[in-house]
Every structure is written in C-alpha cells, then in structure tokens.
Amino acid sequence: MHIGKSYRLSEFLIWTRRSTLVLEAKATSTGVPTINFLPYQHSTSHFEFLNKNKIELCLPSSRTTKFKKITDRLVCLILTVYICIAITTNMSSPKERILETASGLFHQQGYNSTGINQIISEAAVAKASFYSHFKSKDDLCIAFLSARHEYWFYELNTFCSKSTGTKQRLLAAFDFIIYMNEKEDFRGCSFLNILSEISQDQASILSLIQAHKKDLRKFFKNEDISESLSDHIYLLFESSIIESQLFKSNELVYKSKEIVDSLI
C-alpha cells in the first residue's frame, strides 16, 4: 500500500516508514468510504481529529527505512474500529455534502457555469441520491440560499450582540462585513451574486433574494433611529459589500463606517 492512495475499509492494513500518518475518510458515490494515507510530521504518539474527516495517527518511529507492517491483530482491530466510528460520526450526509459543494462551486465559478453532474461528482453522491433531495438545480439553489440566509443572519446577530447601544451595534455591522470578507475571501453577497445570473422566469429564487434583503433592511429599522436614517445606513451597508467584493479591499467599508459614525 502507498501513501496518498485511497483504500476501502475492507482493504484496511497499515504500512508505514514514518512515525505519523494522516488517515482521511473520503465518501464515494456508492456509499462505501475510503481511507487515504497521507504523510504528516509529528513527534508524539496519539490519535487526534484534524477536522471532521481526518484523523492523525501517530506511531512509534521505526529505525528501519523499510516499510513496517503492523501485524498485531489487536492493534489493527482497534484502529479499524476507531476509524469506522470516526467515519460514521463525522462524515456529513449526502444532502449536506451537496449543499456544501454547491456553495463552493457557485462562489468559485458562478451559478450558471456549475452543472448538476459536477456537483454530483465533487460531492461524491449518486445521481439518484441527488434527485431524492433536489428535483432540479433551481430547487438546490433555493435550499442553498435558505441555508445561507439562516447562517448569515445568525453570524450577523451574534457578531453585533457583543456591542451595547444603538450606535455601537450599527458600527459593528460594518465590522461584520470586514470579518466576513476576511473569512470568505471577499465572497460578497451570495444573493446578489445569484441575482446577476437568474432570468425573469426564476421567480421563486428572486422572491427568496428579495426576502433576504427585506430582512436586512428590517435589521437596521429595528434600531432606535429614524426610518430615513436606517435606510441610509442600509444602503451604505449594501454598497460596502459590493464595493469591497469588487476591489477586494475593505477601504470603503471603513469609510462607510466613518460616515455612519458621523450620522448618529
């Protein structure tokens, strides 16, 4: 067996000439997970989750440069069970993988340039599994935007709740744009990104985008300021997202924040 190659669980045997390997659980369209053996440097002997699908396996160093096979059946059994548990408890469901994959692809290459077959392939799900969750690409888009709406507003409210007082919360909203730009590499607004690609016939997607923007406008109206001022801040907020995405810079976000500071 070779480092970097995938093996099914039924083929599971550990070979190593390093003290450490990373075992990476990979989903397949058939539902049978595979294990990748990846080189990874570490000095101690332990098991550790690197992320939801990866486990660091540290073994005592071998003095020989030849491959060393772990022949102790009990050790192999323990490792196999451990990895099986990790796979079943940490790997995302097919629906989650579809949504995660679609989110990344819509951002990287656009909605219209992303095909269903590519999503199915990169999410490692069967075509039947895809269509059991989503009847069409538009249905997937609606699910994606709905999930994005919930995630984005949760993050916004959580971020701004750390500030007390109307002025501080409103200023924090612009700090939230900076935080998201740094976190998502100036992804911009997923809703406006999709809006630029849909047609007039895709009314269900349009209504979801409009609902998201209405909720954002309400977010500012809920503060103890006049309606005209809340709309002014809302428009500054929207333009800050667009301009920062366009220029890959937070400069105008900071300027908008200074304007809001002077208005309140």
Query: Is the pLDDT at 185 greater than 70, yes or no?
Result: yes
So what's the pLDDT on residue 223? Answer: 93
Three-class secondary structure of residue 130 per DSSP: helix
Averaged pLDDT of the chain? 78
Least confident among 73-77, 158-162, 163-167, 206-210: 73-77
Sorted by where each begins, the domain ranges of the chain are 6-90, 135-263
So what's the pLDDT on residue 83? Answer: 56
* Helix ranges (DSSP H) in the chain: 73-90, 94-109, 116-123, 127-133, 137-160, 166-184, 190-195, 203-221, 227-247, 251-263
So what's the pLDDT on residue 93? Answer: 84
So what's the pLDDT on residue 154? Answer: 96
Residue 125, judged by CB atoms within 10 A of its CB (0-12, 13-18, 19+), counts as buried
Q: How many other CB atoms sit within 10 Å of the CB of residue 122?
A: 16
DSSP secondary structure code for residue 29 in this structure? T
DSSP secondary structure code for residue 32 in this structure? -
Cα(70)–Cα(21) distance, integer angstroms: 13
Q: Residues near 12 by Cβ (< 8 Å), separated by ≥ 6? A: 35, 76, 79, 80, 83
* pTM for the structure as a whole: 0.68
Q: What is the mean pLDDT of residues 112-140?
A: 95
So what's the pLDDT on residue 108? Answer: 86
Q: What is the mean pLDDT of residues 126-132?
A: 94
Q: What is the mean pLDDT of residues 181-199?
A: 95
Q: What is the mean pLDDT of residues 114-135?
A: 94
- Closest Cα to residue 67, out of 21, 99, 112, 31? 21
120: tokens are 């199915």
Q: Residues near 7 by Cβ (< 8 Å), separated by ≥ 6? A: 1, 34, 35, 36, 37
pLDDT digits (tens, 9 = 90+) for 212-249: 999 999 999 999 999 999 999 999 999 999 999 999 99
Give residue 33's pLDDT band: very low, low, confident or very high (50, 70, 90). Answer: very low
Q: How many other CB atoms sit within 10 Å of the CB of residue 22?
A: 18
- Closest Cα to residue 140, out of 47, 208, 54? 208
Q: What are phi and psi of 122, to 5 degrees?
A: -75, -25
**CA–CA–CA angle 39, 3, 87 (5° rounding):** 80
Domain 135-263, CATH homologous superfamily name and number: Tetracycline Repressor, domain 2 (1.10.357.10)
Higher pLDDT: 91 or 43? It is: 91
Percent of the chain residues past pLDDT 90, beyond the cut: 61
pLDDT digits (tens, 9 = 90+) for 62-96: 433 333 344 444 445 555 555 555 555 445 688 99
So what's the pLDDT on residue 71? Answer: 41
